[in-house]
A = this chain, B = another copy of it.
């Protein structure tokens, strides 16, 4: 086994099994498969037994996916972005546009959250003279 793909040299020592990948990225095995089936993650290598092997590039990309998902980009938009990537450098302007748009979306999310923080603080003033109940955990 080992070195599952085209290359025979043991340079691929860092390929990760699905379980390792899930540990490394915090994305579950099922979700990794789901992302692959939705076209968000392509070209994942396979061991001779058919099992997936994730490269360090895959790790980086999944981290990007995680970040974009966590900031509200939908699976659909992500899929669109990935398809552009598959179609070579002519799609770069559109990809840049998507990132710029998403960037401003995240920026406004931050603004919204700051407003929410103010509102919560305002609400907390009603409890200024109250001692908070002990926290369940930690």
Contact = CB atoms under 8 A, between A and B. Distances in A.
A2 interface: no
Contacts of A131: 93, 96
Interface stretch (A25-33, A49-57, A112-120): A112-120
Contacts of A127: 92, 95-96, 99
Specify the main secondary structure of chain A where it touches its partner: helix
Contacts of A113: 71, 106, 109-110, 113
Identical chains bound together, number: 2
Interface residues on A, range: 35 or more
Contacts of A134: 97
Contacts of A115: 67
A99 B116 CA distance: 12
Contacts of A102: 120
Nearest to A95: B127
A130 B92 contact: yes
The 10 closest A-B pairs by CB, nearest first: A93-B133, A96-B127, A97-B133, A96-B132, A94-B133, A97-B132, A92-B130, A71-B116, A67-B116, A103-B120
Interface string A40-67: 0000000000000000000000011001
